[in-house]
Chains A and B, each alone.
Chain A
Amino acid sequence: MQPAELSAVDLVAAIRQGDLTAVQCTEAFLERVARLDGSINAFLKVDREGALATAAAIDARRKAGKPLGALAGLPVAVKDALCTRDLPTTCASKMLAGFRPPYDADTVARLRAADAVIVGKTNMDEFAMGGSNENSAFGPVKNPWDLARAPGGSSGGSAACVAADMAPVAIGSDTGGSIRQPAGLCGITGLKPTYGRVSRRGLVAFASSLDQIGPMARSAADCALVLETIAGHDPLDSTSLAADVPRYTELLEQPLTGLRIGRVADHYAAGLDPEVKRGVDEAFAVFEAAGATIHEVELPHAKYGVPTYYLIAPCEASSNLARFDGAHYGHRSNPEGSHRAGSGGQAFESPLVEMYCRSRGEGFGPEVKRRIMLGTYALSAGYYDAYYAKALKVRRLIRQDYLDAFERVDLIGGPVSATPAFKLGEKTGDPLAMYLVDLYTVATNLAGVGGISFPCGFTRGGLPVGFQLQGPALAEPLLLRAADRFQRLTDWHLRRPKQIA
């Protein structure tokens, strides 16, 4: 069997047993990257040399009988929103083109300490703002199932590279659905852990109170393997949770008998694609067959999730992105160039203000600017109470909805997005339509709980359909166990895109 066809769990075992070297494994995936990524554009940076050197060092240590980390030799692709000290970190923005952070994100440091092999940085929507990956300053990612379609976003590069077997696992980040939605559209498994479960240190912040890093892989079992390494308390992230990290991989076996899964009627409102609905209904049936019971639950305020999210996230973003001003690092407008170009009739208060305006004007793409403006407006004197403060109140109500629902059920199931992968360019002219791709996912982030998305079928056109399970805080063991059980009973997650096989 080709390494690229093995699960992450099997790859790690094969390398540990000596059936496969880390170098062979890394080369196998790098070969696919070299062959396929020209048409997919999942990677912004492939670190061929660094990855092979790391792999060789791991092989040498294994040979010498030295201890190896839990992920020894496993290739991992990392979203370009996570800082890597030896690789550029751009957030797919011209603003940070070529920027090299002097430190590794906590997640990256944990991966390295576990002897994972970081193969490169994946494409994304600029600063993680978007649901299609079309907001990348370095070109959109193509969905491996149909190269004319979007992979979803913002972790579209991470989703596509796993879907195309260019990496067995990838790291994504999820602020309003950015792991689960692209996982759904690309037919892979993606977990957004409980807020604070994985340290945010070194994740370039989009919306600090919503951002969460998580694993993306072909199966729930592979996600469990990676989460075991990247989860845990970080004293240098004040919002990191101090709870112990369970052995997720060892908690998958227990059957689902007696598990109560909630179904939300609102999820079936107009706009849900019938083929997605069919996949979701079939998934509920699979869970019932596995011993779970299905219960109708209500999340009465979830319908305000999108507007609430599109106030809180831009407000935080407008402040988080203020540091990209050209003064200390990142893109700075060339003053000579701008003088030649003239001021376009714009009068600036001072050369400093001109430098700020030009640097940010040139460095940020349109969606980032749109959200900075939204957030700046909503936080302004006279508007704060009507927008930001009100959104915080609704957020509390949404959180309470979840707490109430989880009194009655163990997990909540439903679609991860209303439609399968849409065509590139289909929604780019309509920001509001694009914002609705987060319809089923934003409430999870607002509530701070966890969610997992995995394939539950395919459309007649051959596009994957995703199913989402959401759980209470720190219910990752249950989310992973339920998704893993589903994957033992179905084979949707094993299907591979034909176009690129």
Chain B
Amino acid sequence: MTKPAATPEPYTTVIGLEVHVQLQTNTKLFCGCSTKFGAPPNTQVCPVCLGLPGSLPVMNRAAFQLAMKAALALECRIAPFTKWDRKNYFYPDLPKGYQISQFDLPFSSDGWLEVVDPKGAFARKVGIIRVHLEEDAGKSMHDEAAGTADTRIDLNRAGTPLCEIVTQPDLRSPQEARAWLNELKLLLVYLGVSDCNMQEGSLRVDANVNLHIPCPDGSVAKTPIVEIKNMNSFRSVERALIYEAARQYDEWQATGAELGTTPKQTRGWDDPAGVTRAQRHKEESSDYRYFPDPDLVPVTVSEAEIAAVRASMGAPPTVLRTTLAERWKISAYDADVLVNQGREIVAYFEEVATRVGEGKVASNWLQQDVLRTLNERGEAIAAFPIRPDALADLIGRVQQGDFDTSRGREIFAEVLASGRSVADVVASLGIAAVGDDELIALCRELITANPKIVADVQGGKEQAAAGLIGQAKKKNPNVNPAKVRQTCIDLIKAM
């Protein structure tokens, strides 16, 4: 482990995160309703998720196993016996008046996820205290625009399976917190556990933060822990933490208030204003009156089930980075870029590399051409019209010397625009391999017409031969510049 990047701040920022992710199941955690996002309000509901009298929950085992997948990937211990508890509170988007959650026996605990900075600034194992499963509440939409106090409730989301991941306070900077969240998201998306779409609310983050401030007398002052809510992107998390750390330092300097002297404060991140604001403080902390849900039976998990879930997981990003770099002899940086793009990109890359028989060139094409195009078009790889076999075909032709890379890029663009095959585009552009005899004839012609260059080359300035390439391309756009150069030099030397 390397130390976190040295910061100019006179304190250490101590951060723990609480992440909620919606699981990518077809149906809700305790009923058969769809979890699809974006349906008209209150169309994906039934007596169970509406909390109608007499309705009863039945656990969705597939959701439980998906949550297990996440926990296993986070190196957590899976409890052989777990149960469901009710968290009681009143709110209109919580139709039963309680949320089915897990209190004292979460299904998994004691894991970690490493965050690595490719630039080497940090590599840290961040401890996971627990991962538990619970049902989501509905959504309250406060209709302030209409100038009324009306609140609309959409219960489509109510009952959607939600994993809560709670870290140890192991993160030491806002940048590291953001990087760790990126790594977590990548992992969960890789596993197919969640789409982690923050806009749709399928990933939500709260952060607990305080400062450890070394004092001249050798002691360390600790500021009161603040929980930050309402952060809508990883960038917001980073910004909010930077702001909050600075704010806490100022406050400490002004008041000297330390941990334990005040109750834990909750502050909301105001993104446009770029500040955290104190949320209304309740006199008493909420008492959720947790108790075991008598409508549900405890869940037992066998070693065989854990093994089956583990077997279905596939390689996590950390492992994939190493194997990709080793298998295709690409740099750690390149492997990181590819893996960070997601499982589909990696699969695409590997197919191209296999067909071409080389990793580096495939990686270059992926990064410089495919990813750039996807970015420009705002497309996912699944919808990308140039499939791996076509790209491999193109790269193969460049490698054979049929044409150079820049010509290859033109073909790439044309294939993309026209939707035709590489062979078609090559033919229609009149690109045909130039035969050796034809090339030699062309070079002789150029040598005859450029005595100055010939003299320069003969005088030892081989680079002067480059001047012939442009002329060659004008005469025949299909010539391979490298071949033109080499042939001319060979001919001049033989003169």
Q: Which of B90-98, B322-330, B400-408, B434-442 lies at the interface?
A: B90-98
Contacts of B96 in A (CB 8 A): 322-323
Q: Is the CB of B54 within 8 A of A325?
A: no
Q: Is the CB of A351 within 8 A of B97?
A: no
Q: Is the CB of B58 within 8 A of A356?
A: no
Q: A325-B97, A327-B95 are in contact. Are A238 and B297 (CB under 8 A)?
A: yes
Q: Is the CB of A323 within 8 A of B291?
A: no
Nearest-Cβ distance from residue B193 to partner chain A, whole angstroms: 24
Q: Is the CB of A82 within 8 A of B54?
A: yes
Q: Is the CB of A200 within 8 A of B291?
A: no
Contacts of B90 in A (CB 8 A): 322, 325, 356
Q: Is the CB of A388 within 8 A of B54?
A: no
Q: A235-B58, A238-B297, A239-B297 are in contact. Are A322 and B97 (CB under 8 A)?
A: yes
Nearest-Cβ distance from residue A383 to partner chain B, whole angstroms: 10
Query: Is B295 close to A, CB under 8 A?
Result: yes
Nearest-Cβ distance from residue A111 to partner chain B, whole angstroms: 15
Measured CB to CB, the nearest residue on chain A to B291 is: A379
What is the bound-complex CA distance between A351 and B56, given in angstroms?
30
Query: Is B133 close to A, CB under 8 A?
Result: no
Q: A209-B294, A381-B287 are in contact. Are A83 and B92 (CB under 8 A)?
A: no
Measured CB to CB, the nearest residue on chain B to A127 is: B53
Query: Is B256 close to A, CB under 8 A?
Result: no
Query: Is B51 close to A, CB under 8 A?
Result: yes
Q: Is the CB of B52 within 8 A of A316?
A: no
Nearest-Cβ distance from residue A299 to partner chain B, whole angstroms: 23
Query: Is B481 close to A, CB under 8 A?
Result: no
Contacts of A83 in B (CB 8 A): 53-54
Nearest-Cβ distance from residue B102 to partner chain A, whole angstroms: 16
Contacts of B296 in A (CB 8 A): 238-239
Q: Is the CB of A101 within 8 A of B291?
A: no
Query: Is A328 close to B, CB under 8 A?
Result: yes
What is the bound-complex CA distance between A318 and B289, given in angstroms?
10
What is the bound-complex CA distance between A359 and B291, given in angstroms?
25
Measured CB to CB, the nearest residue on chain A to B282 is: A349
Q: Is the CB of B54 within 8 A of A205?
A: yes
Q: Is the CB of A323 within 8 A of B51?
A: yes
Nearest-Cβ distance from residue B330 to partner chain A, whole angstroms: 51
Q: Is the CB of B295 within 8 A of A376?
A: no
Q: Which of B288-325 contact A (CB under 8 A)?
A: 289-291, 294-297
What is the bound-complex CA distance between A384 and B53, given in angstroms?
26
Q: Which of B17-55 contact A (CB under 8 A)?
A: 47, 50-55
Nearest-Cβ distance from residue B419 to partner chain A, whole angstroms: 50
**Interface residue total, chain B, C-beta cutoff 8 A:** 29
Contacts of A379 in B (CB 8 A): 88, 289-291
Fill in one digit per residue for A101-145: 1 if any B CB lies within 8 Å of its CB, else 0: 111010000000000000000000000000000000000000000
What is the bound-complex CA distance between A208 and B292, given in angstroms?
11
Q: Which of B372-422 contact A (CB under 8 A)?
A: none
Query: Is B6 close to A, CB under 8 A?
Result: no
What is the bound-complex CA distance between A10 and B290, given in angstroms?
50
Q: A325-B90, A380-B289 are in contact. Are A238 and B98 (CB under 8 A)?
A: no
Residue among B53, B153, B291, B297 with the highest chain A CB neighbour number at 10 A: B53
Pick from B54, B57, B97: contact of A204, CB under 8 Å: B54
Pick from A89, A238, A319: contact of B57, CB under 8 Å: A238
Q: Is the CB of B289 within 8 A of A102?
A: no
Pick from A204, A209, A351, A380: contact of B53, CB under 8 Å: A204
What is the bound-complex CA distance between A201 and B52, given in angstroms?
11
Q: Is the CB of A322 within 8 A of B54?
A: no
Query: Is B149 close to A, CB under 8 A?
Result: yes
Q: Is the CB of A203 within 8 A of B58?
A: no
Contacts of A404 in B (CB 8 A): none
Pick from B53, B59, B88, B95: contact of A99, CB under 8 Å: B53
Nearest-Cβ distance from residue B246 to partner chain A, whole angstroms: 33
Contacts of A352 in B (CB 8 A): 92
What is the bound-complex CA distance between A204 and B53, given in angstroms?
5
Residue among B54, B90, B153, B294 with the highest chain A CB neighbour number at 10 A: B54
Query: Is A315 close to B, CB under 8 A?
Result: yes
Q: Is the CB of B86 within 8 A of A319?
A: yes
Nearest-Cβ distance from residue B42 to partner chain A, whole angstroms: 10
Fill in one digit per residue for A66-109: 1 if any B CB lies within 8 Å of its CB, else 0: 00000000000000001100000101000010010111010000
Measured CB to CB, the nearest residue on chain A to B96 is: A323
Q: Is the CB of B53 within 8 A of A236?
A: no
Fill in one digit per residue for B326-356: 1 if any A CB lies within 8 Å of its CB, else 0: 0000000000000000000000000000000
Contacts of B51 in A (CB 8 A): 323, 328
Q: Is the CB of A101 within 8 A of B52?
A: yes
Fill in one digit per residue for B55-78: 1 if any A CB lies within 8 Å of its CB, else 0: 111110000000000000000000
Pick from A102, A208, A239, A388: contact of B52, CB under 8 Å: A102
Q: Is the CB of A208 within 8 A of B294?
A: yes
What is the bound-complex CA distance between A239 and B51, given in angstroms?
18
Fill in one digit per residue for B251-294: 1 if any A CB lies within 8 Å of its CB, else 0: 00000000000000000000000000000000000010111001
Q: Is the CB of A319 within 8 A of B98?
A: yes
Contacts of A237 in B (CB 8 A): 56, 58
Contacts of B289 in A (CB 8 A): 318-319, 376, 379-381, 384
Contacts of A208 in B (CB 8 A): 294-295
Q: Is the CB of B53 within 8 A of A319?
A: no
What is the bound-complex CA distance between A191 and B228, given in angstroms?
56
Residue among B47, B52, B58, B88 with the highest chain A CB neighbour number at 10 A: B52
Pick from B50, B55, B97, B287: contact of A319, CB under 8 Å: B97
Contacts of A319 in B (CB 8 A): 86, 88, 97-98, 289, 291
What is the bound-complex CA distance between A200 and B291, given in angstroms?
20
What is the bound-complex CA distance between A203 and B47, given in angstroms?
13
Nearest-Cβ distance from residue B442 to partner chain A, whole angstroms: 80
Q: Is the CB of B291 within 8 A of A238?
A: no
Pick from B50, B287, B295: contact of A380, CB under 8 Å: B287
Pick from A202, A316, A323, A380: contact of B294, CB under 8 Å: A316
Q: Which of A318-343 contact B (CB under 8 A)?
A: 318-319, 321-325, 327-329
Q: Which of A1-40 contact B (CB under 8 A)?
A: none
What is the bound-complex CA distance between A202 and B295, given in angstroms?
12
Contacts of A322 in B (CB 8 A): 88, 90, 96-98
Q: Is the CB of B287 within 8 A of A101?
A: no
Residue among A208, A238, A325, A352 with the highest chain B CB neighbour number at 10 A: A238
Contacts of B98 in A (CB 8 A): 319, 322
What is the bound-complex CA distance between A104 and B56, given in angstroms?
13
Q: Is the CB of A89 within 8 A of B88?
A: no
Q: Is the CB of A200 within 8 A of B56?
A: yes
Nearest-Cβ distance from residue B147 to partner chain A, whole angstroms: 16
Q: Top 3 nearest A-B pairs by Cβ distance?
A: A322-B97, A208-B294, A209-B294
16 contacts between A and B (CB under 8 A): A83-B54, A200-B56, A202-B54, A204-B53, A205-B53, A209-B294, A238-B59, A238-B295, A238-B296, A239-B295, A316-B291, A319-B86, A319-B97, A323-B95, A323-B96, A327-B92
| Extra pairs beyond A96-B53, A101-B53, A105-B54 (20, CB < 8 Å) | A83-B53, A102-B52, A200-B54, A204-B54, A208-B294, A236-B56, A239-B296, A322-B96, A323-B51, A323-B96, A328-B51, A328-B92, A328-B95, A329-B52, A352-B92, A356-B90, A379-B88, A379-B289, A379-B290, A384-B291
**A contacts, CB < 8 Å to B:** 82-83, 89, 91, 96, 99, 101-103, 105, 200-205, 207-209, 235-239, 315-316, 318-319, 321-325, 327-329, 351-352, 356, 376, 379-381, 384, 388
**B contacts, CB < 8 Å to A:** 47, 50-59, 86, 88, 90, 92, 95-98, 149, 153, 287, 289-291, 294-297
